[in-house]
């Protein structure tokens, strides 16, 4: 059962206008999907070339082996990270020797959840049913309750403190000074128990709780507007890095493809393994973006073709028949065009694979036309 429900109805003519707007939006989604696929293939090719180039010129050195003859070269090294100053949160008087320290602030607030569903009306239009549900959650940003449909769920208008990230200004890997590009990649955070000597000086309702601070009456029974503050840190550890030696610093290495290499892995990892991991990550990201482009294109075509389904709604049987055919057409057309776009990105580098993909795409398209012509779902005529 929803906390609040609203109904709306569009006549067939009104919904036809909505469908036209959706079709225009669908065209933009299709164009955007092409852009995403083309960008992804260009990015993937350039990254592949950069990794291949780097693997061919990199050398391994000891972390205390900062030799002038290696200046400007791509080097690989492993060792213990070091920091030289403590990170300090001046607001909470918290200090720690770490690479990163995050102050995480959450407020207990009302959150509005919107669930919408549609039903076809007898006149060919559409009913829209919108449910609004409200629940209490810990949220790390201010939730504006002024736009809530149900007005008896009010949140505070401000958060007393903001989340903040503190970053070390100097980090060394052995005798190499790491550029910020490297240690920003470190994501293994662990909880840090703050022990400020003046926790009550900041807010009269503040108390120490669970290694951090709490503003409110009872942490075990939070009320709207209560705030909890916690701290997490990234401590110095053993890592492996690949980058350009520039004097006594390790910085991103610029390859001939225009891509930069700044590789980092936790632990002692060999140079060859690091390049293998980098290529695996490139492949994984490439396929993720390809799938995203295909899904985006499919939704784009469905939105573009939706107007035809609305036009035939006054004839339910034909409307459902066309809708089934358009779904098949959208999926296979998206698959065909996605494959062709991917192939064009590789045609200069791997022509045999590219032309094979184009042939597969053509087969997909022919098959989609065949399936659309044969689409005949087993439904009763209303």
Interval 219-236: pLDDT, tens? 999 999 999 999 999 999
The residues pairing with 135 across neighbouring beta strands, listed in sequence order, are 111
Does residue 343 have a pLDDT over 90?
no
374 closest CA partner among 337, 335, 329, 333: 329
Does residue 312 have a pLDDT over 50?
yes
Residue 350 is predicted with a pLDDT of 63
CA atoms within 13 A on the CB side of 380: 1
Give the pLDDT mean for 287-307: 89
Per-residue DSSP letter, 257: T
Give the pLDDT mean for 192-199: 69
Q: Which two tokens stand for residue 57?
A: 């010129």
High-pLDDT (> 90) share of the chain, %: 53
Interval 31-43: pLDDT, tens? 999 899 889 988 9
- Residue 240 three-state SS: strand
Residue 229 is predicted with a pLDDT of 94
Residue 150 is predicted with a pLDDT of 84
Where does residue 85 rank: exposed (0-12), middle (13-18), buried (19+ CB within 10 A)? exposed
Instruction: Report the alpha-carbon distance of residue 226 to residue 219 in Å, rounded.
Output: 8
Residue with more model confidence, 194 or 314: 194
Residue 380 is predicted with a pLDDT of 45
Interval 71-125: pLDDT, tens? 999 999 999 999 999 999 988 888 999 999 999 999 999 999 999 888 777 766 7
pTM, two decimal places? 0.78
Instruction: Report the alpha-carbon distance of residue 340 to residue 290 in Å, rounded.
Output: 12
Q: Which two tokens stand for residue 268?
A: 């002692």
* Residues in the chain, overall count: 382
Residue 330 is predicted with a pLDDT of 76
Residue 309 is predicted with a pLDDT of 75
Instruction: Report the alpha-carbon distance of residue 235 to residue 99 in Å, rounded.
Output: 6
Residue 4 is predicted with a pLDDT of 78
168 closest CA partner among 152, 157, 179, 158: 179
Interval 165-180: pLDDT, tens? 999 999 999 999 999 9
- Residue 172 CA, distance from chain mean position: 30
Instruction: Report the alpha-carbon distance of residue 180 to residue 170 in Å, rounded.
Output: 8
Instruction: Report the alpha-carbon distance of residue 100 to residue 97 in Å, rounded.
Output: 9
Per-residue DSSP letter, 123: T
Interval 321-339: pLDDT, tens? 555 566 667 777 787 778 7
């Amino acid at each position: 059962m929803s906390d609040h429900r609203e109904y709306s109805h569009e006549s067939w003519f009104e919904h036809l206008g909505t469908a036209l707007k959706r079709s225009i939006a669908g065209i933009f989604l299709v164009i955007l999907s092409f852009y995403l696929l083309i960008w992804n293939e260009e990015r993937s090719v350039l990254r592949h070339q950069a990794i291949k180039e780097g693997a061919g010129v990199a050398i391994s050195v000891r972390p205390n082996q900062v030799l002038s003859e290696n200046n400007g070269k791509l080097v690989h090294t492993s060792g213990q990270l070091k920091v030289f100053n403590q990170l300090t949160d001046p607001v909470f008087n918290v200090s720690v020797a770490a690479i990163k320290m995050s102050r995480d602030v959450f407020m207990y607030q009302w959150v509005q959840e919107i669930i919408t569903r549609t039903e076809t009306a007898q006149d060919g239009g559409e009913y829209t049913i919108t449910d609004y549900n409200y629940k209490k959650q810990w949220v790390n940003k201010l939730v504006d309750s002024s736009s809530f449909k149900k007005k008896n769920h009010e949140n505070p208008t401000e958060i007393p403190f903001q989340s903040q990230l503190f970053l070390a200004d100097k980090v060394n890997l052995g005798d190499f000074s790491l550029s910020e590009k490297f240690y920003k990649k470190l994501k293994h955070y662990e909880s840090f128990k703050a022990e400020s000597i003046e926790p009550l000086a900041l807010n009269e309702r503040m108390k120490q709780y669970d290694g951090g601070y709490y503003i409110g009456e009872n942490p075990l029974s939070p009320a709207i507007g209560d705030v909890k503050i916690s701290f997490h840190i990234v401590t110095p550890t053993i890592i492996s890095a690949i980058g350009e030696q520039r004097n006594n610093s390790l910085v991103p290495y610029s390859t001939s493809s225009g891509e930069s290499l700044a590789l980092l892995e936790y632990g002692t990892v060999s140079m060859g393994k690091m390049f293998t991991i980098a290529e695996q990550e490139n492949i994984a990201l490439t396929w993720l973006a390809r799938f995203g482009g295909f899904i985006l294109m499919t939704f784009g075509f469905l939105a573009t073709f939706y107007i035809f389904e609305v036009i035939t709604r006054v004839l339910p049987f034909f409307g459902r028949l066309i809708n089934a055919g358009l779904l098949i057409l959208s999926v296979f057309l998206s698959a065909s065009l996605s494959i062709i776009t991917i192939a064009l990105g590789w045609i200069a580098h791997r022509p045999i694979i590219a032309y094979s993909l184009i042939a597969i795409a053509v087969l997909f398209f022919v098959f989609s036309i065949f399936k659309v012509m044969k689409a005949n779902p087993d439904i009763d005529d209303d």
